[in-house]
Amino acid sequence: MSALPLRHLLRLLHFLLPPLLLWALLAGGAQAQVRIKDIADIEGVRDNQLVGYGLVVGLNATGDRLRTAAFTRQSLIGMLERLGVATRDYERDMETRNVAAVMVTASLSAFGRQGSRIDVNVSTLGDAQSLQGGTLLVTPLLGADGEIYAVAQGAVAVSGFAARGQGQTVTRGVPTAGRIANGAIVERELPFRLAERDALRLALRNPDFTTARRIAEAINRGTGAGTAQALDPGTVRVRMPAGRNGDIVALITEIEQLRVQPDQIARVVIDEHAGIIVMGENVRISTVAIAQGNLTIRVTEAPQVSQPAPFARGQTTVVPRTEIEVEDGRERRMTVLGGTVSLRDLVTALNALGVGPRDMISILQAIKAAGALQAEIEVM
């Protein structure tokens, strides 16, 4: 047998490589491993929510109406009085629409240091139409304990806009919410000392007994036996191994890069409003017969005009014409699924029946009611 010429071999590889690569990706997906960093969090290393109330000024007549927004009026009067401007006697004459009351939110990380900057989000409270061109005045940001952790101020960047006229209004995006990049300065640090700990706990984002045990085994293989122990489906305790000299950061770095194969329960998630179905890999169907058909009756009215012949005695009349179409789904057949079929077989069978997403939701619920769906159904 003679060898293939080089150009024929390259052409053959050109057609074979895409299917081979696809097969390799599908085969590798069944045993996909992920980093511990992507499926677990370190207890105590988390963001903390901050919130504050402030005023945005400099708006082009798109702010709150002071007559209807009493909180904006009181806030404006209080701010001016703190700056030495007496406005109590002229409160009724204040009709500016260049001010808007806003709520300011931010997230402070566990290692946010004093003097560092964080981003803030600004959202209106009253009937302001847009924050375009506005500037947020000094706003203290408080934590859940009521303490001030940051102070925000700066120009608000708004992605949306609103244009109004006498006959038409155009709005794109959300002009009543904006963002200030690096708009807050951290004034108080969180009392969290990671370097002083001799042990830590990992919190799984999707608690599972099997996944927690696999994480503990991977850590013990990578850092030494007895280092990690699975306490429950959502927690893995890790002790500082001997000879590490208390270098907790290096230990966390090694643990985050370890790879495990997370396990998951068989679950079907259904969103009836949007017609979305998400099925896990382990969903199985016992032996079941499925038939789906709908009765559709369509009535169409198409009246026609009847006119008499030229020079004839008669009247022009409208003659009703009604067409009725009945579709009872006779062309659809019953499909029988064998025992413990996979997700691929289920989808293939339902597609063969011409089933849409919304009909598929009803079928899955009926299969579950019949006891043939070996999975958990979660309706959003």
Q: What value does the mean pLDDT take over residues 259-272?
A: 85
| Average pLDDT of span 20-46 | 68
Listed range (26-30, 197-201, 271-275, 329-333) with the worst mean pLDDT: 26-30
Alpha-carbon distance of 256 to 39, in angstroms, equals: 10
Question: Looking at the domain 194-260, which fold is it?
Answer: TATA-Binding Protein (3.30.310)
State mean pLDDT over 298-309: 68
pLDDT given for residue 183 in this prediction:
94
Distance CA 93, CA 96 (A): 9
Where does the chain hold its CATH 3.30.310 domain(s)? 194-260
Asked if residue 14 has pLDDT above 60, the reply is: no
Q: Is the Cα torsion angle 229, 231, 236, 238 positive or negative in sign?
A: negative
Rounded Cα distance, 99 and 56, in Å: 6
- pLDDT category of residue 251 using cuts at 50, 70 and 90: confident
Average pLDDT, the chain: 79
Q: How many CA atoms lie within 13 A of 298 on its CB side?
A: 6
pTM, entire model: 0.66
- d(CA 156, CA 162) in angstroms, rounded, equals 16
Residue 291: pLDDT over 50: yes
Phi and psi torsions of 79, nearest 5°: -65, -45
CB neighbour burial string for 135-152, b if at least 16 within 10 angstroms, e if fewer? ebbebbbebeeeeebbeb
For the ranges 239-248, 265-274, 319-328, which has the lowest average pLDDT? 319-328
Query: Which parts of the chain fold into alpha helices (H)?
Result: 6-30, 70-82, 209-223, 248-257, 343-352, 357-369
Neighbours of 233 (CB within 10 A): 15
Residue 108: left if φ>0, alpha if ψ -120 to 50, beta else—which one? beta
Residue with tokens 């058909």: 293
- Bridge partners, residue 277, by sequence: 270
Q: Which two tokens stand for residue 168?
A: 């038409």
pLDDT above 50: residue 24: no
pLDDT at 152 over 90: yes
Higher pLDDT pick, 156 / 277: 156
